Amino acid sequence: MATIEESEKRAPWVLLSPALVTIALLLVVPVMFIVVYSFWLRTSVGGVEPAFSLANWREALTDRFYLDILISTVRIAAITTIVCALVGYPVAYFVARAKGVNRGFLLLLLMLPFWVSYIIRTMSWINILGVSGAVNSLLLSIGLIDEPVQMLYNEATVILGLVHFLLPFMILNTYVSLDGIDRALEDAANSLGANPMQTFWEVTLPLSVPGLAAGSVLCFVLGAGTYITPIVLGGPTDAMFANLVFEAIITQLDWPLGAVLSLMLLVVLGAVVLVYNRFMGLGHIAKGIG
């Protein structure tokens, strides 16, 4: 019979095993599998056969089309992240400094968008900016325009949709950092003669960098990995990299190419996460979500 000590040692692994098996079978092995799959060949009859061919990789890496869209995806995600940081920081600051019931209420409101489906939040902008949307209806009724103006389906509305989707992630993460700052440090800076601006730039802002960084990584990775927003709010030329993956897999049924494109996206976004992990540690992201 096992001693109590031995069973204590075994217990965590017994409890963890269902989760570890799930992650191994549904995430780790499948990702490793598509690495292999990306070298397989499409046959002339439309099937796929095991092989070692660099053709898929060559196509994706040498065709300017894919590279251009990868670059514009990174650019759109970067702009979105910067806008989220600039717009969200004062809000996080306000919530962190709010008192009592107000603060609880503001935090609860910040959670609400997470429970509203991404597709609904995205399509809601059609009601606002569309040809028969709120803005056009308002401008028509006050006589500023004679005919409805199409404001949707361009890069700006894609970025708008992404900011709307990702802003709560930025605010919550920054809030967690700001909330953890010992107020005595700010008081000390003030009593030593710093004016409020100096205190902010030299004490508060540097101490909130971990939250700002966690929020930025989430915004960037989620923003760069989406294909729904460009379909719903973008025009024909506003496709992002994940749209190419979706096209390859679902429309063209060119699965080896789809595997290559997925892996390219994984490498670019994985690099961002690794750099972040090197400097900040992944723990901060977990704090912001839980």
Count the helices and strands in the chain (H runs, E runs).
Answer: 16, 2
**CA geometry: angle at 197 spanning 193 and 199, to 5°?**
55
Contacting other proteins within 247-276 (CB under 8 A): 249-250, 255, 258-259, 262-263, 265-266, 269-270, 273
- List binders of other proteins among 57-116 (CB under 8 A): 87-88, 90-91, 93-95, 106, 108-109, 111-113, 115-116
Q: Which stretch binds other proteins (CB under 8 A): 53-61, 69-77, 174-182, 244-252?
A: 244-252
Size of the site for other proteins (CB under 8 A): 86
Q: What would the two tokens of residue 142 be? A: 């006050």
Q: Which stretch binds other proteins (CB under 8 A): 60-68, 73-81, 172-180, 238-246?
A: 238-246
CB of 63 to other proteins, least distance (A): 19
Retrieve residue 102's tokens.
Answer: 């107000």
Q: Which is nearer to other proteins, 18 or 193 (CB)?
A: 18
Nearer to other proteins, 90 or 180 (CB): 90
For other proteins, give the closer residue by CB, 118 or 155. 118
CB of 232 to other proteins, least distance (A): 6
- Ranges within 7-66 binding other proteins (CB under 8 A): 8-9, 11-13, 15-16, 18-20, 22-23, 26-31, 33-34, 37
Read off φ and ψ for residue 130, nearest 5 degrees. Answer: -65, 175
Cα separation values, 24 from 28, 31, 133, 274, Å = 5, 10, 47, 20
CB 256 within 8 A of CB 38: yes
Task: Quote the least distance from Cβ 64 to other proteins, whole Å.
Answer: 22
Pairing of strands 41-42, 48-49: antiparallel
Instruction: Give 239 or 259: the residue with its C-beta nearer to other proteins.
Output: 259
**Of residues 176-205, those binding other proteins (CB under 8 A):** 196
- Could you tell me the smallest distance in angstroms from the CB atom of residue 6 to other proteins? 13
DSSP string, 127-190: HHHSTTSHHHHHHHHTTS-SS-----SSHHHHHHHHHHHHHHHHHHHHHHHHHTS-HHHHHHHH
d(CA 206, CA 88): 16
283: alpha, beta or left? (left if phi > 0; alpha if psi -120 to 50): alpha
Identity of the residue, 54 or 116, whose beta carbon is nearer to other proteins in the bound complex: 116
Q: How far is the CB of 137 from other proteins (least distance, A)?
A: 4
Q: Between residues 30 and 180, which has the closer beta carbon with respect to other proteins?
A: 30
Both tokens of residue 43?
């046959």
Residue ranges in 115-144 that form contacts with other proteins under rule CB under 8 A: 115-121, 123-128, 130, 132-134, 136-138, 141
Q: Which residue of 69, 83, 189, 242 would you call a contact of other proteins, by CB under 8 A?
A: 242
Burial of residue 109, with CB atoms counted within 10 A of its CB: 0-12 exposed, 13-18 middle, 19 or more buried: exposed
For residue 281, the minimal CB distance to other proteins (Å) is 10
Whether residue 79 contacts residue 188, with contact meaning beta carbons closer than 8 Å, is answered with no
> Would you tell me how many other CB atoms lie within 10 Å of the CB of residue 257?
23
**Segment 216-235, which members bind other proteins (CB under 8 A)?**
221, 224-228, 232
